[in-house]
Structure formats: structure tokens, C-alpha cells
Chains A and B, each alone.
Chain A
């Protein structure tokens, strides 16, 4: 029997924002609802061109970001893989619906192409100022998954991952990229469908009258039918019992809130993605994410050439914070360096994990410019 001929991977020259679209479509996204905002607008523009070409694909430009995420939640409840993209001010508007997505356990992907802030800030300059907003922007206590991407290929790969994690854990997933990655054009490889996994939400198999929409399962993630599939259930942003109806009974409230954390926290190994460069023997480890991680990678190489035992821990998952990976590099290193385009939003997490064990140096820059390899190298050679 002839072996099936392997299709060659397609290579394209793409913007980070274009790569996000490619990743979303490969992951099975068929709905986009949103509101354009610089520097994320290309994602929406390309979606408007591509989605009508896909069976069942649909696209709608809503009147604001609040409406955008609302439509995404509606489409996801109706069984679609749905996403929106935005930037800082729009992301702020989405926060209430983000919380709604968390408590109703609705899978969806929000891409936030970060720009300088606060407020309208620097619309076309890079920043990493929305890190803690992604974690804690919405009111109430909740778990959440936040990813980042440091180059155009990762924009594609991590968008697929974002959809997979959203479906697997029934939760909103946020992909944070910065303006530089979003607007950098690079050669990327579009993988063949057999080269990556696509995860779809688990749908109930029991008869509709047995189904309880928010019942505990082994994984902590209840199966999710779509609206109109014969399973008629109530979805509410109010704290609800396992039937989905509002409750304020302490035992039911506690059960829901704890499960929302547990369903993600018991699978940290699956959720937390990091890359390590030269960390095995490193005395100094740079912890970086987004475009800054690229500067850091070059700085680490240059430092090695100068005889400094430097390494890089690149975070693809920002939240839940990759604690294990950080502890691993801390076991050997005497110094951690956290460069970021904000006043220290991620170094807070590093310091929390570090808890005074090793020295933590931060490099912070909020002038709308990227942190260069030279700036990181300077610190690397001094510690």
C-alpha cells in the first residue's frame, strides 16, 4: 500500500496579527465578533475576509467592545469556537463579560494586542501593561489562563493552544501580544492539520433530563451542550447551583467557586508552557515574555560569549504563573532578571515565588520603546 504523501508545510510571510487569524482558523474558530482598535485591527479585518469563506463561518462588527465580547459569549454558548481581539482600552471594556465567561464557563479566546497606557495612551507603541489586568481585571475571584507570544510563529501556535485550553477547561483564555510582534512580518510555517491537536469541548452524552449543566466531574469540567441541541439549561452570571439556577446557599456557592479554581489548578502541568534557553548551568536567568523575550535571547547569547553563565526562561503561559519552572531555575541561579515594558507587573509574580531566596533585578521601560538586547546585556554582565 502506498504511503500517503505528506503534504508540504505551507510557508507564508505574515504579520503577527495575520498569524493569529491563521491559528484561530486552524483551531476551528468559526465566529468573530468585535470592535476594531489599533493595533489589533488587522485581526478583525482579515477575519471579515476569511470567515465568510468557511462553512458556518460568521462575523459581525459590533458597536463596541462590550458588545463584541457579548456576541462571542453568545456564539460560544450556541456551539461555536469564537474569539475577539482588542487592545488595552477595549480590553478594559470587556472585563465584565470576561468575568461572565469565567463563571458561566464559556470557552472563548480574547487576543489583546497591548499598547501603551494608561487610558488611550500610546496607540501605536508597544507595551506590556495589561498583564495584571488580564489576571485581575474583572471583579471577583477567579482562575484564568493567560498566554503570550514572542514572535510571529508563536502567534499562530499559541492561538491554537489558546483555543485548545479554552475548550478543554471551559474557560476564557487571553492571549497577550505586544504591538511589535503584532506588526512584525516574518516567515512562518503553517502546520498540516495532522501535526497539531485540536481539542473540542466535551458534549454530554446522557439523556437531556439527566443532564446537570454545572455538575462536578473527575476533571472538574462539566460537559457543555450547545444552545438548541436538545439540552435546555439556564446560563446565568449569578452564582448558581449544579442545575444552573441562582443560589446563595453557602455550600453551593463554595462548591462552584472552588471548582472554578480547581479545574485549572489541578492541571498546571498542562497549562503552564515555558521555553528554556541555556538554563542548565545558568547563574543568571532572565525571565521574559513577549517581544522582550527575543531581546533577552540575544542578550543571553552575547553574555555567554562574554563568559557569563546566562540563561533564559521564556514564559508562554503568564497565568497561572509557572511556579515550578521558576523554582527549577532558582535552584541553580543566584540572580533572576525580569525585563518588561511596564513598571514590574510580572516581576511581582517572580518575587512572590522567589520569596527572598535569590536576587531579583528588574528592567522596566515605559517610554513606548522596546527593551533592547544591549539594555539586558548591560545588567547581565554587571550581576
Chain B
């Protein structure tokens, strides 16, 4: 095992026969998530065959193709449904779903809340960049009110979804929010999400400079990372703020942590009882 530098660890998990270069733009946070995912899986000591990465459509959806696991690039918004089937069929596998904000909360919103309610033992990484990147920069369910996109040229009038509140209300086992700026914390969140027996959600704030930044007065990708650094604060610090200050900040950290068994565990326990009772 080569484990001296981050880059070498990455090489152990990337697919050498995949046609590189990757599709991500310069300044995109998705590569950081990919690195974090690899470090988390490596840190947990999982074998490559125990891990299945399922992805939706869009920039985040391409992430699965680069890593040497069992990988499935699914239809738009439905990654969680495929993952549910895989997890039910192979309960021993660690099924990790990578989705964008449109993928998970717009077209796939119903699947997200039901996967959480069902508490299926998969881990959802929601790469939230507040925009439809690959489609050309249209607004998403998390585009903040007032900000600009190709389909909100006068500013977004709708409210945006709070992924953490949504998944917490839908009763997911593990709900956390991290950013690609706070990478060490992110590694830990992904590891905890994967280790959790039920449905784990990690919302990852990641900048899309190409589509979101250029429309919203971020001159360089670095400006977007600086905003993440400045505005995203730990949940404990956030709770101590006044209401007026809270509006300017985004809390990060672990919001829900339960230990309920996943659906597949409950199902096979029930099935064993049924078969034993025959």
C-alpha cells in the first residue's frame, strides 16, 4: 500500500484505463469531494469490491466513472432508487450515492425524502453548488433567493431548499453539512456517513465558478472558496449567534446522528424469522 502523499493514494483508486482528462472545470469543488471520498473509503479500510458508487446526471454524475469501484452512472435524479435495489440485493456492500443539488432535490426530491424515511442503508453525498452546471447554469432548488442564473436573469424569486432540514425532517439516520474548503471535517463526515447503518446524507457545499460564480460577481474561483471559509461556520458557533447574524451564515457539522438499523437489515431479520417459522 502506497500511502505517503495524497496524490499517490488517489492513484491507487483512480481507473488508469479511463479516458482522462476529467470533465471538471478549473476551480470546481467536485475533484476535492472525489479526493475526500477516496480518503474516507481508504481510512475505513474498505476493499474496493465492497464499495459501490452510484451517481446521477450532471457534473457530479461523472465522478463515478473515475474511481475503481463498482460504479453505476444512472438516470437523472434516480440514483437513490438504483442504490436501494443494490443495497437490498447485496446488504453487505457499502453503497455510496453521489448527486448534485438538482439531481437530489429537484427531479429526485421524492426519492430523497423516501430514501430517508425508508432509512435504507446507503450514503448520499449531495454536491450542492446552487446551480445546474453541466446544463449551462440554470437555477436549481438551492439557488439562493436573489441570485442570478440563466433562468433567473432578474434574480431568483423562489425560496431555496435547505437540504439538511429537508433530510432531517424526512428522518434520515445521519445528516451532516460540510464544504470543500473544510476538507478534514468533510473526510470525517463522509466516513461517519458510510459507517452509519441507516440512510446517511452529507450535503457538501462546493463552488461552481463557471456557471454560478460568473453570474454572481465572484471574479475568481478563489473568491468562492473564501466565501465558504468566511460564511460557513460550525453548528455550535452558529447557534450562539443572534438571529440577525444567523441569516448571514451557514451552519455546518453533524445535525442528526441516530443508530437505527437500515431497512435492509430489518427486512432480512424479518425474512429470517419468517423462514425459521415455516
**Interface residues in chain A, defined as those with a beta carbon under 8 Å from any beta carbon in chain B:** 31, 33, 51-53, 55, 57-60, 62-64, 66-80, 82, 96-97, 100, 226-230, 232-238, 243, 245-246
B271 touches A232 (CB 8 A): no
Given contacts A57-B271, A73-B85, A246-B65, contact A236 B78 (CB under 8 A): no
Partner of B274, one of A53, A72, A96: A53
- CB-CB nearest in chain B for A64: B110
> B2 contacts which chain A residues (CB < 8 A)?
none
Query: Do A228 and B50 form a contact, CB below 8 Å, given A52-B275, A66-B78, A67-B111?
Result: yes
Q: Please tell me if the beta carbons of B275 and A67 are within 8 angstroms of each other in the complex.
A: no
Report yes or no: A67 in contact with B70, Cβ–Cβ below 8 A. no
13 new A-B contacts at CB < 8 Å, known A62-B81, A78-B93: A52-B267, A53-B278, A60-B85, A67-B110, A68-B81, A74-B72, A75-B86, A227-B93, A228-B49, A228-B52, A228-B90, A237-B73, A243-B17
Task: Decide: B86 and A33 in contact? CB cutoff 8 A.
Answer: no
Residues of chain B within 8 A of A74, CB atoms compared: 54, 72, 81-89
B210 within 8 A of A: no
Q: B224 contacts the other chain (Cβ, under 8 Å)?
A: no
**Residue numbers in A under 8 Å from B48 (CB-CB):** 232
B74/A71 in contact, CB under 8 A:
no
Known: A74-B84, A228-B52, A234-B64. A31 touches B73 (CB 8 A): no
Does the CB pair A82–B85 fall under 8 Å? yes
Q: Nearest Cβ in chain B — how far from A51, in angstroms?
A: 8
Write the chain A residue with the least CB distance to B61: A236
Q: How far is the CB of B183 from chain A (nearest CB, A)?
A: 26
Name the one of B18, B49, B80, B90 contacting A230, with C-beta atoms under 8 angstroms. Answer: B49
State which of B68, B81, B270 has its C-beta within 8 Å of the C-beta of A70.
B81
Q: A96 to B108, alpha carbons, bound, how many Å?
A: 14
* CB of B19 closer than 8 Å to a CB of A: yes
Chain A residues, Cβ within 8 Å of B264: 58
B82 CB to closest chain A CB (Å) equals 4
* CB-based contact B70/A228 at 8 Å: yes
A-B contact pairs, 22 of them (CB 8 A): A31-B85, A58-B264, A58-B271, A62-B81, A62-B114, A70-B75, A70-B84, A70-B111, A71-B82, A71-B84, A72-B85, A78-B52, A78-B93, A80-B89, A82-B89, A227-B70, A228-B49, A232-B49, A234-B15, A235-B72, A236-B73, A246-B65
- Provided the pairs A31-B85, A63-B111, A74-B86 are in contact, do residues A52 and B74 lie with their beta carbons within 8 angstroms? no
Q: How far is the CA of A243 from the CA of B114 in the complex (A)?
A: 34
In the A-B complex, the 3 residue pairs with the closest CB atoms: A74-B85, A70-B81, A71-B85
Q: Which of B208-227 contact A (CB under 8 A)?
A: none
Which B residues are within 8 Å of any A CB, using their own CB?
15, 17-19, 48-50, 52, 54, 64-65, 68-75, 78, 80-90, 92-93, 110-111, 114, 118, 263-264, 267-268, 270-271, 274-275, 278
Which residues from chain A contact B68 at a C-beta distance below 8 Å?
232
Q: Give the distance in Å from the alpha carbon of A14 to the alpha carbon of B85 in the complex.
A: 29
Cross-chain contact A245 with B89 (CB below 8 angstroms): no
A70 to B82, CA, bound (A): 5
Q: Tell me the bound Cα distance from A60 to B18 in angstroms.
A: 35
Flag if B73 contacts A238 (CB, 8 Å): yes
Q: In the complex, A313 Cα to B88 Cα: how many Å?
A: 42
> Distance (Å) between the CB of B1 and the closest chain A CB?
18
Bound complex: CA of A140 vs CA of B184, how far in Å? 44
Chain B residues within an 8 Å CB radius of A77: 72, 82, 85-86
With A74-B81, A75-B89, A97-B78 already in contact, the answer to whether A235 and B73 are too (CB < 8 A) is yes
Q: Point out the residues of chain B lying under 8 angstroms from A52, CB to CB.
A: 267, 270-271, 274-275
Question: Which partner residue on chain A sits nearest B18 by CB separation?
Answer: A245
Contact A70–B52 (Cβ < 8 Å): no
User: Chain A residues with Cβ under 8 A from B19's Cβ?
Assistant: 245
Whole-angstrom distance between the alpha carbons of A52 and B278 in the complex?
A: 11
Report A102 CB to chain B, min CB distance, Å. 12
CB-defined contacts of B50 to chain A, threshold 8 Å: 228
Instruction: List the B side residues contacting A55 at CB < 8 Å.
Output: 275
Knowing A235-B71, A235-B72, A236-B65, the reply to whether A70 touches B85 (Cβ < 8 A) is yes
Contact A67 B270 (CB under 8 A): no
Bound-complex Cα distance A229 to B15 (A) = 18
Query: Could you say which residues of chain A place their CB within 8 Å of the CB of B90?
Result: 78-79, 226-228
Cα–Cα distance between A357 and B47 once the two chains are bound (Å): 64
Cα–Cα distance between A223 and B277 once the two chains are bound (Å): 38
Q: List A contacts of B82 (CB < 8 A).
A: 70-71, 73-74, 77
CB <8 Å contact, B73 and A70: no
Distance from B233 Cβ to chain A, minimum over Cβ atoms (Å): 35
Task: Determine the residue in chain B with the shortest Cβ distance to A225.
Answer: B70
Task: Find out whether the CB atom of B275 lies under 8 angstroms from the CB atom of A100.
Answer: no
Query: Contact between B263 and A60 (Cβ–Cβ < 8 Å)?
Result: yes
